[in-house]
Structure 1
Amino acid sequence: MVEVTVTPRSSLSDRGVQVGVRGLSPSQLVTLRSWLRDERGECFQARAFFRATPKGDLDLGVTPALGGSYCGVCPMGLFWFLQPLKPFRRLLRRNVAGGPFLVHLEVFEGLLMAPEPREPPLASCQAERWYLGPGVTRVPVREGRVRGSLFLPPGPGPFPGVIDLFGGAGGLIEFRAGLLASRGFAVLALAFFAFEDLPPALTTLHMEYFEEAAELLLHHPKVRGPGLGVLGVSKGAEVALAMATFLPQVVATVWINGTAFLHGNPLVYRDLFIPPIPYFPERVLFTDLGAIDNSAVFGDPRDPKYGPSAIPVERIRGKVLFVVGEADRSLNSKLFAQLAMARMSPENCHLLSYPGAGHLIEPPGSPLCSISSIRGTPRPILWGGEAQAHAKAQEHSWQEIIRFLGSHLGGTKATPKL
């Protein structure tokens, strides 16, 4: 009898699992397929072709895939290389408190080439991939002007505090905050536009809003001060770097594929005004797939006339971890990281740069999204990245991010139980 197994069956989405098959014929050629449906009903799937051992089994930790969504030995290949059946969809858990993603694993005789199988599988099983560990709580935040969600690990605390920021799509994205809370951090997933009563579009970065959020987090009885961390990607990385510059409460900052200058929106903080580098939308390129390549839209920050738009990172006294995907097609993030680091004290910054990684570097349970549609754009956006290199970058950078935040915020008490 053929059996496919995943161990552990239930796990946090950023953790690895073991996939195996037994009961096959010696050297039998089979297809392993994984698939799930997100909250909107969109289907994502991956598949790989294998030849069973002489004993009639497979262990994806040692058995190489012959082809399909990937080649070679990759224990997490059926999770890392999930792709949408419909183009330009992004696999994103929106309701992290609503349960896990259910990943179906199936084994089929021979080579399954069709998008959907016509015959039943030889065997199947189901894996639960969670974004909240046991006991992690989510509390909506509606205090003063601040809008977001606070994720708290189980127990009395106090826990190191982190503010989590996403980018130009706006709204409130919580999956990374839930995973960080499962690792022992108190995390405020912070919206700053296009959410509830916040401005529908981003026009000006008002640093007082982020200062208010930092003070709100630090005054929570389960949050350990005196400093906190900030994690941001894309536009959120730009904001995170500004917070590290102007807010003494910020002592550890993770910057993922962002800028070191104000682009498109000015920054206002008390009597300070930093003008932006304008966008140049006439430089946009359309790819063969009809997506928007924005890489030329950002003005060259090395042009002397843009000097006043630089975030004055030389003022940063905390630590900054720069995370760069060298195949980022949204902006030249490596250049921005290097320009920022050149103006900072060397002991205050560190660079992780990954060849082949794209713009959306996320926790390792997230498959590469190289193109997707986002709010406010007429066409899908090109993010870049090569699937295998991007997956490895996510796995390595996530561990480094957790280590960095824990080290500079005094460590965590919790360990994930899934």
Structure 2
Amino acid sequence: MSSQVRLQLLPRARCLFDEPVQVKVAGVKSYQVVTMKATSTDERGVLFSSSAVYRADESGEIDLNRDPSLSGSYVGVEPMGLLWSLSPETLHKHFNKTKALIPQVVKISVHEEGEEGQMLAEVTNERFLIADGVSRVPVSEGNINGVLFTPPGEGPFPAVLDLCTFMSEKRACLLANKGFVVLAVAVFNDKPGNIKQLHLDHYQEAVDYLLKQPKVGSKGVGVVSRSKGGDVALALAAFVPGVEAIVWINGCSANMGLPLFYENRQILSQLSFDMGKLIRTESGASIIKHILGNPLAEENEGSLVPIQKAKGRFLFVASGDDLNWDSKGYMDEMVERLKHHGKNNFESVCYPLAGHLLEPPYGPFCPSAVHGLIPFPVLWGGEPKAHIAAELDLWEKIQEFLKSHLSPDPADSTAKL
């Protein structure tokens, strides 16, 4: 490495997962062309990497907030491009980041031009999910199997149920950093093939548990969900009291996959599907967008979630390039249904070029991966830059929506969100 070349991460090399860093290089030659690289290993030991070519200015400096990548994993001015373009060594891998106490470690380096160019400088970016003072407590009580995150301070704080399809602490922990008491639970705590039916009562237990927490000040609970978690969240809103604000991200308007029971009776049948409508691609990943039946068809009417019964507020979020299923179509149908019933308790947003996996910002973009509910890789959709921009925008919208509809009365609160 060159002692003259300096590689900096500003404002600091240690940050929270959803915080940007400014990457700056100094001390290279005037107008020198260099290759920037990043590597990171996920929780399953899969190595991800990215690279981009930059040209220094007259002073021998490069600023990723200002300067465009000329070629590589991305092109143009992309301040966080080295992180979101991290790609796995083998196809169809999703960057697995689910544990709140383990930071993502990213090695960022600058090299002489070319793939085998000499390394000139290197720095480590530690990206933490959990902020100082936030508590993490595993919960195993009754039918609840999850993790509770509580912000520092006396509160009271608004309460949120993070309903993951499969267990992940990432989004819940990041929301707790923002001033929410968040319980993360999974729809599937066992292999999906071992589960024959779902019980809404189990998720109601989670709602009730949250409302009993001493630092919770909201009168009701918010629910954040994506994919299969979305239709469970809709059912909570329709059938369970105390659910005040629902964030539905790229879900379905009908109960998908398994019959849903509540109070010892079936309340929703499962939406039918046809694997014959699967589309195989040359990459080895399939498009499953069209395998689900029409929720409005007569044979599926028992699966449609009656959201018109809900008293809470909805934030519907759909990606126009979702290749998992027709989330935009489901959202449009729900909006029209609520309007038909004289309801205005909803907001909706569509990101036309985003794909299915909308997550908190700055994680690696995932074009394809093995599906959790079917044993082969699928395409998730999304144009990378547009998808990353959507994640950044949505992360702010989620926080604003939950604060707006869950925050305690200011007169009763000493906490600042």
Shorter-chain TM-score range: over 0.9
Query: Any stretches of 5+ residues in structure 2 without a counterpart?
Result: none
CA distance in 1, matches of 2:307, 2:56: 55
Q: Using structure 2 for the length normalisation, give the TM-score.
A: 0.93
Match of 2:159 among 152, 158, 161: 161
Equivalent residue in structure 1 for 2:185, among 170, 185, 190: 190
Please state whether the residue corresponding to 1:337 is helix, strand or coil: helix
In structure 2, how many angstroms separate the alpha carbons of the residues matched to 1:407 and 1:338? 23
1:265 alignment counterpart: 258
How far, CA to CA, are the matches of 2:282 and 2:152 in structure 1? 49
Asked if 1:315 corresponds to 2:309, the answer is yes
Match of 1:364 in 2: 361
Percent sequence identity over matched residues? 39
Structure 1 stretch displaced more, 26-35 or 271-280: 271-280
Q: Which has the larger displacement, 222-231 or 366-375?
A: 366-375
1:191 Cα deviation after fit: 2.2
* SS in structure 1 of the partner of residue 338 of structure 2: coil
What does residue 43 of structure 2 align with?
A: 39
2:157–2:407 Cα contact (<8 Å) kept: no
1:49 is paired with a residue of what secondary structure?
strand
1:262 CA drift (Å): 1.4
Q: Tell me the equivalent position of 2:403.
A: 406
Q: 1:2 to 1:295 in 2, by over 3 A?
A: same
- The residue number in structure 2 matching 1:62 is 66
Q: Match of 1:96, SS? A: coil
Q: Give yes or no for contact 1:22–1:56 (8 Å, CA) kept in 2.
A: yes
Give me the CA root mean square deviation: 1.8
2:382 aligned partner, one-letter code: G
Equivalence for 2:345? 348
1:32 is paired with a residue whose SS is: strand
SS of structure 2 residue aligned to 1:20: strand
Unaligned runs of 5+ in 1: 113-117
One-letter amino acid matched to 1:359: H
Equivalent residue of 2:267, what SS? Answer: strand
- Per-residue CA deviation, residues 353-398 of structure 1 (Å, 9 max, x unaligned), is 1121100000002221121124453311221111111000000011
Q: Which residue of 2 aligns with 1:213?
A: 206
SS at match of 1:396: helix
Task: Read off the aligned partner of 1:88 and give its amino acid letter.
Answer: H
Q: What is the aligned partner in structure 2 of residue 256 from structure 1?
A: 249
What is the letter of the counterpart of residue 226 of structure 2? Answer: V
Amino acid at match of 1:254: V
C-alpha contact 2:259 2:266 (8 A) present in aligned 1: no
Distance (whole Å) between structure 2 residues aligned to residue 43 and residue 341 of structure 1: 42
Q: How far does the alpha carbon of each residue in 1:91-114 deviate from its partner, in whole angstroms, 9 at most, with x for none?
A: 12132113x1111110011132xx
User: SS in structure 2 opposite 1:48?
Assistant: strand
Per-residue deviation at 1:227?
0.5
**Counterpart among 390, 393, 399 of residue 393 in structure 1:** 390
Q: 2:9 aligns with which of 6, 9, 12?
A: 6
Q: What do the CA deviations read for 1:134-161 (whole angstroms, capped 9, x no partner)?
A: 1111111111111111011112222111
Q: Does 1:330 align with 2:324?
A: yes
Amino acid in the other structure paired with 2:153 = G
The answer on 1:105 being equivalent to 2:144 is: no
What amino acid is aligned across from residue 323 of structure 1 in structure 2?
A: V
Q: Are 1:81 and 2:85 matched, yes or no?
A: yes
SS in 2 for 1:268: strand
SS state at 2:330 partner:
helix
Q: Give the partner amino acid of 2:126.
A: E
Q: Structure 1: which amino acid aligns with 2:336?
A: A
In structure 1, C-alpha distance between the alignment counterparts of 2:129 and 2:92, rounded to whole Å = 23
Q: Distance in 2 between matches of 1:302 and 1:375?
A: 26
Q: Is the 8 A contact 1:238 1:259 kept in 2?
A: yes
Match of 2:52 in 1: 48
- TM-score normalized with structure 1 length: 0.92
Counterpart of 1:245 (choices 238, 244, 253) is 238
Alignment of 1:213-232 (within 5 A): 213-232=206-225
CA offsets per residue over residues 328-348 of structure 1, 9 Å max, x none?
100000000111111225531
Classify the secondary structure of the residue corresponding to 1:126.
strand
Query: Hey, what's the Cα distance between the residues in 2 that align with 1:5 and 1:280?
Result: 52
Pairing 1:181–2:176 present: yes
Which residue of 131, 134, 137 corresponds with 1:136? 134
Aligned partner letter, 1:3 = R
- Find the residue that maps to 1:282 and give its secondary structure: helix
Quote the residue 1:115 is aligned against.
Answer: none
